[in-house]
Chains A and B, each alone.
Chain A
Amino acid sequence: EVQLVESGGGLVQPGGSLRLSCAASGFTFSSYEMNWVRQAPGKGLEWVSYITSSGSIIYHRDSVKGRFTISRDNAKSSLYLQMNSLRAEDTAVYYCARVTGAFDYWGQGTLVTVSS
């Protein structure tokens, strides 16, 4: 069974940092591209970051470029999102999602709250 389990969310002050993790199981993690997607309270889904299966190519949406970094450790079947210089508008549930064209499996999400 495919499972994606996020962790690392929490309350952080504006300007602070957090590192999200996504532990994958039930499939060959190193064969799949992965994404982070977020959802602000009461809002729609917003793609954040993408990484190829090897980790050699990454993309971020413009609003997080220079602040967020996606990475992965295929030996540990884990995906990461390093978030720096956090802003109030980054408050959201963050999901990791597996890519097969569409996003076929999602984790349960981890809540990041940026507030003083």
Chain B
Amino acid sequence: EIVMTQSPATLSVSPGERATLSCRASQSVSSNLAWYQQKPGQAPRLLIYDASTRATGVPARFSGSGSGTEFTLTISSLQSEDFAVYCCQQYYNWPPLYTFGQGTKLEIK
């Protein structure tokens, strides 16, 4: 099983500032990496797929980078609605054994 490790567990950032979240895979997942945003009581929302492609309707302040085992989600200027939990996921395996990171909670500083 590919283990996804996110850091930090909690990130405190002020509105308007930049946030950088990291995700590491225990083995290469090429660019088969997605980022999701989840707010309390809501389903996850796809933000980034294929490591760097924004999903439909996702604001340009969200960007993803990386390949292989190291990935980054950057939010360029935090808005109030961006404070949430962010989770990475690999979809490299076949047969499918999708795995998720444990999440980074982005909180208001």
User: Closest approach, in angstroms, between the C-beta of B45 and any C-beta of chain A?
Assistant: 8
Verify A102–B89 contact, CB threshold 8 A.
Answer: yes
Q: How many residues of A contact B (CB 8 A)?
A: 20
Q: Specify which of A44, A103, A107, A108 is in contact with B46 (CB 8 Å cutoff).
A: A103
Verify A35–B44 contact, CB threshold 8 A.
Answer: no
Verify A47–B46 contact, CB threshold 8 A.
Answer: no
- Is residue A50 contacting chain B, with contact meaning CB distance below 8 A? yes
Verify A102–B49 contact, CB threshold 8 A.
Answer: yes
Binary interface encoding of chain A residues 22-40 relative to chain B, with 1 for a CB under 8 A from any of its CBs, else 0: 0000000000000101000
What CA separation (Å) do A55 and B91 show in the bound complex?
Answer: 19
Q: How many residues of B contact A (CB 8 A)?
A: 23
Which residues in chain B, 58-73, are within 8 Å of chain A measured between CB atoms? none
Verify B87–A101 contact, CB threshold 8 A.
Answer: no
| Interface-centre pick from A46, A59, A95 (highest chain B CB count, 10 A) | A59
Identify whether the interface residues of A are mostly helix, strand, loop, or mixed: strand
Q: Specify which of A47, A100, A102 is in contact with B96 (CB 8 Å cutoff).
A: A47
* A44-B87, A45-B87, A109-B43 known; A59-B55 Cβ under 8 A: no
User: Closest approach, in angstroms, between the C-beta of B94 and any C-beta of chain A?
Assistant: 10
What CA separation (Å) do A116 and B91 show in the bound complex?
Answer: 36
What CA separation (Å) do A105 and B46 show in the bound complex?
Answer: 7
Verify B91–A102 contact, CB threshold 8 A.
Answer: yes
Q: Which residues of A contact B (CB under 8 A)?
A: 35, 37, 44-47, 50, 59, 61, 95, 100-109
